[in-house]
Structure formats: C-alpha cells, structure tokens
Amino acid sequence: MAGSGYKELLRVPGVGRIIAAQLTARFPNGMASLAILLHVQHATGSYGAAGLVLAASSIGQAVSGPVTSRWMGRWGMRPVLTLTLSICVLSFLGLAFFSFLPLAGYVVLGLIAGLSTPPIQSAARTIYPKLVNSSQLTPLFSLDASLQEIIWIVAPVVITIVSTQVGTVQGLLLVAAVLVGGGAWFILSPEVGRVRIPRSRRGFGAVVLKPPVMLATVTGFLLIGACAAVEVGVVKTFDHGGLEAGLVLAVFSVGSLVGGLASGRVPMGPWAMARRLTIVAVGLALTMLSLNVFWLGGTLLAAGIGIAPALAVLFAITSASVKFSETAEAFGWAGTGQLIGAAAGSAIAGFLIDSMHSPTGAYLAAACFAAVALIVSVVFVRHFPDLRGRDAAPMPDTEVVPLP
C-alpha cells in the first residue's frame, strides 16, 4: 500500500487516535519484562529468582488473555479495562516499593501483574471493523502489525537506560506511569465507548476450536517462538547485550516494519501465510551460516520483512472467521498462543545454546520454529479463508426474532 493510501486510512475519524492510544497503552509490554528482571535481580542478587518472577508474570498473561477479553462482551470494554489496568498498576507499584518482600511475595505480585494485564490489543482489534469500511480493514491490520514494531524497537532501550542509569525502582514506576497515561487515553477514547461487544452465546473456549482461529493461535505460537529464540541468540552472540545486540535486534524489527507497510494492499489468499512465512524461514535459516554482525544484521533484516505481513494475515483470518461477539476472545486466544510461544522459544534456544556450546543453537531453534510454522500453513492451507475480493470484518451476530 502506498504512503498516500495510509494517509487516506488515517484520515478516517478515530483511526489515528485509536492506533496511537493503543500503541501507547501497550508500550509497557515492551518494558515490563526487563523492568521486572532488572529490579528483582537487583533486590535478590539472583537471575534465577528474577526468571521465576518473570515466568509467573508470563503465565498470568497467558491465562488471563482469553478470559478478560471475553469479559468485555459481558460487562463492557471500559469497566473491564479500567479494573484490570488499576490492578496491574498497583502490582507494579507493589514490586517497586515492597523491597522487604521474600521471593514468594515477588512471585505473587508478578503473577497478579500478568493476570491483570489489560486486554488492550483484543479491544483495539475488535474496534477496528467498526471504524473503517470493508476495503480498508485488511490494510488497517497490516498498519497495526507494522507500527507495533515501534514498541519492540524503542521500549527495551528506554527501560534499560532508566533502570541501569537511574534505578530499578524508577524503571518500574515508569512502567506504571505509562500504563496509567496510555491506558487512560485508550479507555477514554470515544470509539471505546461507542463500540459494544454483544455477549457471546457460545461456551468459553469454543471459538478457538474454529480452524482459522486455531491456525492463527498455532502459527502465532510458532512465529513469536522464532522471534524469541532470535532475541536469545543475539544477546548471547554479542556478550549478553552489547551495542551490537541492540542494533541487530533493531534491524530485525525495522525489517518487519518495512515489510508490513509494503504489504498493506497485497491480497490475502489461502497461500498468503505460507508465502510470508517462507521469507521468515529462509532468512532465519541463513543466520546459522555466520555469527558476523553484518551477516546476522542482513539475514535478520530479510527475515523480518515477513514478520509483520504474517501477523497481519493472522489478525485478518481471526477477524474474518468469527462473529463480532467472539472477536475479543478469539484475539485473546491468539495472544495467549504468542505468549506461550515466546516462553517456549526462549527456553528451547537457551537449552540448545548450552548443549551446542554456541549461540548457533538459538538460531537453529528459531529456524525450526519458522519451518514448522511454514509446514503448518502449507498442510492446512484449505482452512485459511480466501480474503481476496472480500473484507476481513467479523460476521454479524444474529438472533431469532419471534413472529407475531
């Protein structure tokens, strides 16, 4: 999609505001893990303890995603977002100020922070179909998938500077402050008040059994698992996170940003996911040939070009395959798949690094995750909806109308 096309999209009332507000509200997602890691390690002197608290937070997020997303159809977006945001902020304040806590106390607060993570992403992607016409929805998903890379480029740098140069308590307070500011901006946006999610009539979890939603969840698990393995590999390659590590990971995200913006108008047929994952798989396979900074930068730039376009397909097939009342929960399940993938990718990459005594093990893990994602998208291609010539809007909810 040309730049002028994106300008036209952003002129639609409410689109620019919702995109900016949800990106700001989700900005802490790119800071929270590092802030918790650095603070708990500083407080306890143990990376193992910090990892335990992070694991509790990740488990909380994975469990709560579909649940809190579904709640929005029962009690409304604003009440659910306000409640979860308030609890999440309090948990980060607790982590910051309760320095006397034993490890179990930090674990409990980390779990609460994860469980109460506001379902901003699910809310935003549920609102999108109500803001734009049918021809603009797929490009909007592409724009969203691309711009979220800004979070992963900027947020880790910001929180690392604050936590290491100012203090880990200040790092956690920054996370809490951005949560409040960005969350309030999103919650108070007029579009959040105008869009009401109908209450789903199906049982909890039924939506994830739909083949396209299951494929979105599984491919998201594998794709984000590959990205997490890359992150571990790059940090290990460049001495636990030197300047080169930050630059290489930034290049990876820039590739994704560019790929997403360039693919906004490309039609999404059943083979769209496979084509985009091929770019990712080939690029990650090439990383294993050399640990030279320029080689890794180049291959990860190439692999990144397929990341945001693949995520855009994931968002589009999820939206197009469910009723509007099910969209929030469906996106919640997709998010849970990605969270579990991030944890699995990091763990497997670390295991292979130790067993192979080389960072190459992490790149092998990343390439395998991407290859399996590609295989899944090929084997189950008939379950990917053909969105060429049709919009990605969710199906309208219908109900029986009694006759007189």
Residue 22 is part of a domain; what is its CATH number? 1.20.1250.20
- Same domain, yes or no, for 168 and 297? no
**Arithmetic mean of pLDDT, 23-45:** 86
pLDDT at 347 over 90: no
Tally Cβ neighbours within 10 Å of residue 171: 29
Together in a domain, 171 and 319 = no
- Position 395 scores a pLDDT of 66
Domain boundary among 146, 178, 195: 195
pLDDT band at 401 (very low <50, low <70, confident <90, very high): very low
Q: How far is CA 356 from the centre of its chain?
A: 30
Q: Answer yes or no: is 399 within a domain.
A: no
Amino acid at 248: V
Count of structural domains within the chain: 2
What pLDDT is stored for residue 83 in this prediction?
96
Cross-strand bridge partners of residue 274:
none
Q: What is the Cα 275 distance to its own chain's centre? A: 21
Residues 6+ apart with CB under 8 A from 298: none
Expressed as residue numbers, the domain containing 162 is 13-195
Domain end call among 176, 195, 214: 195
Residue 162 near residue 284, CB atoms below 8 Å: no
Answer yes or no: do 161 and 235 share one domain: no
pLDDT value for 4: 52
Of the chain, the percentage scoring pLDDT greater than 70 comes to: 93
141 and 250 together in one domain: no
Residues 6+ away with beta carbon under 8 Å from 223: 277, 280, 307, 310, 311, 314, 338, 341, 369, 370, 373
Q: What is the mean pLDDT of the chain?
A: 86
Confidence of residue 2 (pLDDT cuts 50, 70, 90): very low
Residues 6+ apart with CB under 8 A from 385: 212, 270, 317, 320, 321
Q: Higher confidence at residue 210 or residue 47? A: 210
Cβ(197)–Cβ(77) under 8 Å?
yes
Band (84; pLDDT cuts 50, 70, 90)? very high
Q: What is the pTM of this model?
A: 0.81
Residue 240 has pLDDT above 80, yes or no: no
What's the pLDDT score for residue 196?
A: 81
- Rounded to 10 degrees, the C-alpha dihedral 73/79/84/86 comes to 170
Residues 291, 320: one domain? Answer: yes
CA dist., res. 94 & res. 112, Å (int):
10
Q: Tell me how far apart the alpha carbons of residues 334 and 66 are, in angstroms, rounded to a whole number.
A: 8
- Cβ(271)–Cβ(381) below 8 Å: yes
Residues 317 and 254 occupy one common structural domain: yes
Q: What mean pLDDT is predicted for residues 229-244?
A: 75
In a domain, 22, yes or no: yes
Residue 137 in any domain: the answer is yes
Q: For 121-179, how does the pLDDT look when each residue is reduced to its tens digit (9 = 90+)?
A: 888 888 888 888 777 777 888 888 888 878 877 887 788 788 888 888 999 999 999 99
What pLDDT, on the 0 to 100 scale, is given for residue 22?
92
Determine the pLDDT at residue 104: 92
Decide which of 159, 177, 195 is a domain's last residue: 195
Q: Is residue 400 part of a domain?
A: no
CA distances from 173 to 107, 176, 179, 188, 341 (A): 18, 5, 10, 22, 28
In whole angstroms, what is the distance from residue 249 CA to residue 206 CA? 37
For the segment 101-120, the average pLDDT, to the nearest whole number, is: 92
Same structural domain for residues 143 and 240? no
CA-CA distance, 22 to 70, in Å (whole number)?
18
- More confidently predicted of 42 and 389: 42
Residue 225 belongs to a domain:
yes
| Whether 216 and 129 share a structural domain | no
Per-residue pLDDT, averaged over 295-303, amounts to 94
Which string of b and e fits 64-99 if b means at least 16 CB within 10 Å? Answer: bbbebbbbbbeebbbebbbebbeebbebbebbbeee
| Domain presence at residue 403 | no
Of residues 140, 115, 112, the one with CA closest to residue 128: 140
∠ CA(366), CA(373), CA(54), 5° rounding? 55
**Rounded distance, CA 326 to CA 395, Å?**
9
Residue whose C-alpha is closest to residue 122's, from 285, 327, 312:
327
- The verdict on 181 and 243 lying in the same domain is no
Tell me the CA distances in angstroms from 398 to 70, 199, 324, 329, 392, one per residue in order: 18, 12, 10, 18, 18
Flag whether 210 is in a domain: yes
pLDDT more than 90, % of the chain: 35
**221: Cβ contacts below 8 Å, ≥ 6 apart:** 337, 338, 340, 341, 344
pLDDT confidence of residue 32: 86
Same domain as 308, residue 227: yes
Do 45 and 180 have their domain in common? yes
Do residue 175 and residue 223 come from a single domain? no
**Is 5 part of a structural domain of the chain?**
no
